[in-house]
């Protein structure tokens, strides 16, 4: 069996891991909102104000910190005033991006903001820049956050909400290089500045504005955007990157894939680290004090839809491969938390790499869900330096480090080590030295299974995180066996 050494340097404290790195994304797409989160108040499925209670409980369990809405591409066609007031009077529209279905606007601003309050998470609103107006976005902010006397605050009160909500995160446009208007970065930068000028801070609410950043490795977009905006105008720029084992026309099956496709998926997932590093370098040229962060507000695996489902609904299954994809991404985001201020997996329920799948009243938690559970305690902890000796695996010409990791220390001084063994045919023994950190106790959890293993509505508990005994503590060192295709979290109690 391969044996590797890992060193943790707890005295080298690196950066704060914003809890928002563990964020989620919910779009009016397929069954994410309707027949996903939202079943309506009259549904027989247990709900609170129309939102499924089982989803609320599951997301609270992983401490969901932030939820992005209403898109995605949908955001740049969304007119918020269509989604307020008496439901029967709300306008119906066509969701042109996603399946051409009728959007009845029964889930709108009140439903979303109240749902975030119920979940205990920050709302992240993605504003319409592509087909909306400055006035429309400006009034939306006024509607949600103003406590005084104004036309929009009165309208909100008339619609049943006396006090404003708190809104921190505001995205000004989505993918404006693509579905959000096919703009050039020079043009978008000007449009961004105009829109953001009229998004005001009302009644003590402080907006954290996020500009539309690059598509994956479009470094030119980052360069031009950063040359034209400053940290007064934007706190972060977004980055979108999806992992596909194939290409846009044939992405590959979510459940039926070869070993080669598996390793390609992980190889391509790891590419996000190179992108973060290069985008950050370009950003530093224009923003020497690193005041502007990166919000990876769409990430995850994107495969062909499940056979027999609407191609516009992007519904896919979720296997142990996705658990590894999630663990690799989250470890990378932690390691770059000096720059990565937020990340939102796409998407939370029933779309792309979901943590939850539903069918009628049934609900399954996916392998990806359990990764968020294992990594939960990194939220708002401090990243500390760590190193694993190199051991590469993968396809010819596409090799990468077999084990990914990140280590943090929380406010009590306890340490969390998260690891993924990306090999699907080899267990790996890891000897971890924790340096000056002396532990009094150790506990661990594991998520493992055959790489194609997944949970179904008939068999919802095939893959679950469980307590793990394969860890031995010897005050300043820990040894752990990482079974092939596994994600392990180790919690060390400070002595």
At its nearest, how many Å lie between ligand AHR and the CB of residue 298? 6
Interaction mask 62-91, ligand AHR, x per CB under 6 A: ---------xxx------------------
| Nearest C-alpha neighbor of 82 from the set 74, 91, 73 | 91
Q: Would you say 72 or 127 has its CB closer to ligand AHR? A: 72
* Distance between CA atoms of residues 269 and 248, nearest Å: 16
Q: Would you say 36 or 71 has its CB closer to ligand AHR? A: 71
Whether 77 is a known active-site residue: answer no
Which residues, 359 to 418, sit near ligand AHR by CB under 6 A?
none
Interaction mask 255-294, ligand AHR, x per CB under 6 A: ----------------------------------------
Q: Which residues fall within 8 angstroms of residue 479, CB to CB, at 6 or more apart?
A: 429, 430, 431, 432, 471, 472
At its nearest, how many Å lie between ligand AHR and the CB of residue 199? 20
Q: Which of 20, 175, 273, 335 is catalytic?
A: 175
Whether 175 is a known active-site residue: answer yes
What angle is formed at CA 296 by the lines to CA 33 and CA 143, rounded to 5 degrees?
Answer: 50
Asked whether 125 and 137 are in contact (CB, 8 A), the reply is no
85: left (phi over 0), alpha (psi -120 to 50) or beta: left
333: left (phi over 0), alpha (psi -120 to 50) or beta: alpha
Q: Would you say 161 or 268 has its CB closer to ligand AHR? A: 268
* Distance between CA atoms of residues 142 and 203, nearest Å: 10
Cα separations in angstroms, 122 against 115, 117, 165: 10, 8, 10
Interaction mask 159-188, ligand AHR, x per CB under 6 A: ---------------xx-------------
How many residues sit close enough to ligand AHR to count as binding (CB under 6 A)? 10
Q: Would you say 350 or 418 has its CB closer to ligand AHR? A: 350
Out of 141, 346, 365, 393, the residue judged to bind ligand AHR by CB under 6 A: 346
Asked whether 294 and 341 are in contact (CB, 8 A), the reply is yes
Which residues, 13 to 42, sit near ligand AHR by CB under 6 A?
27
Neighbours of 205 (CB within 10 A): 17
Q: Would you say 244 or 453 has its CB closer to ligand AHR? A: 244
At its nearest, how many Å lie between ligand AHR and the CB of residue 75? 8
* Distance between CA atoms of residues 33 and 313, nearest Å: 11
Residues forming beta bridges with residue 340, ordered by sequence position: 294
Interface with ligand AHR includes 295 (CB under 6 A)? no
Q: Which residues fall within 8 angstroms of residue 389, CB to CB, at 6 or more apart?
A: 4, 5, 6
> Cα 39 from chain centroid?
23
Out of 298, 304, 335, 377, the residue judged to bind ligand AHR by CB under 6 A: 298
Binding residues vs ligand AHR (CB under 6 A): 27, 71-73, 174-175, 298, 346-347, 352
Catalytic residues: 175, 298
């Amino acid at each position: 069996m391969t044996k590797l050494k890992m060193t943790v340097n707890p005295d080298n404290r690196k950066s704060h891991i914003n809890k928002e790195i563990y964020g989620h994304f919910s779009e009016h797409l397929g069954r994410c909102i309707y027949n996903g989160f939202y079943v309506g108040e009259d549904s027989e499925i247990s709900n609170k104000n129309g939102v499924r209670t089982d989803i609320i409980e599951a997301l609270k369990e992983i401490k969901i910190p932030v939820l992005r809405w209403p898109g995605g591409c949908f955001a740049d066609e969304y007119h918020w005033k269509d989604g307020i007031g008496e439901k029967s009077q709300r306008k119906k529209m066509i969701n042109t991006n996603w399946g051409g279905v009728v959007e009845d606007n029964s889930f709108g601003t009140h439903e979303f903001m109240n749902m975030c309050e119920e979940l205990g998470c920050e709302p992240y609103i993605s504003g319409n820049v592509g087909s909306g107006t400055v006035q429309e976005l400006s009034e939306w902010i006024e509607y949600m956050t103003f406590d005084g006397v104004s036309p929009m605050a009165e309208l909100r009160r008339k619609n049943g909400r006396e006090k404003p909500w708190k809104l921190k995160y505001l995205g000004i446009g989505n993918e404006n290089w693509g579905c959000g208007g096919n703009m050039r970065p020079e043009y978008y930068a000007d449009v961004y500045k105009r829109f953001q000028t009229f998004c005001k801070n009302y009644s003590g609410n402080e907006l954290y504005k996020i500009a539309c950043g690059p598509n994956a490795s479009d470094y030119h977009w980052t360069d031009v955007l950063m040359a034209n905006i400053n940290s007064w105008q934007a706190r972060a720029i977004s980055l979108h990157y999806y992992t596909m084992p194939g290409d846009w026309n044939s992405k590959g099956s979510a459940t039926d894939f070869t070993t080669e496709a598996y390793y390609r998926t992980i190889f391509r997932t790891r590419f996000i680290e190179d992108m973060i590093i290069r985008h950050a370098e370009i950003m530093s040229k224009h923003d020497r004090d690193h005041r502007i962060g990166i919000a990876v507000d769409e990430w995850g695996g994107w495969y062909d839809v499940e056979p027999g489902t609407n191609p516009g609904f992007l519904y896919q299954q979720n296997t142990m491969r996705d658990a590894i994809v999630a663990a690799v991404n989250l470890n990378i985001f932690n390691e770059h938390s000096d720059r990565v201020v937020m990340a939102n997996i796409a998407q939370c329920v029933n779309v792309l790499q979901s943590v939850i799948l539903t069918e009628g009243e049934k609900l399954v938690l996916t392998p990806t869900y359990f990764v968020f559970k294992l990594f939960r305690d990194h939220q708002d902890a401090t990243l500390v330096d760590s190193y694993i000796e190199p051991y590469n695996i993968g396809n010819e010409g596409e090799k990468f480090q077999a084990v990914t990791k990140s280590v943090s220390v929380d406010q009590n001084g306890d340490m969390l080590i998260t690891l993924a063994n990306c090999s699907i045919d080899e267990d790996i023994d890891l000897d971890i030295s924790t340096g000056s950190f002396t532990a009094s106790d150790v506990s661990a959890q594991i998520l493992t299974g055959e790489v194609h293993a997944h949970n179904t509505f008939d068999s919802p508990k095939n893959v679950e995180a469980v307590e793990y005994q394969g860890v031995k503590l010897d005050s300043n060192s820990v040894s752990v066996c990482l079974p092939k295709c596994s994600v392990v979290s180790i919690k060390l109690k400070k002595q």
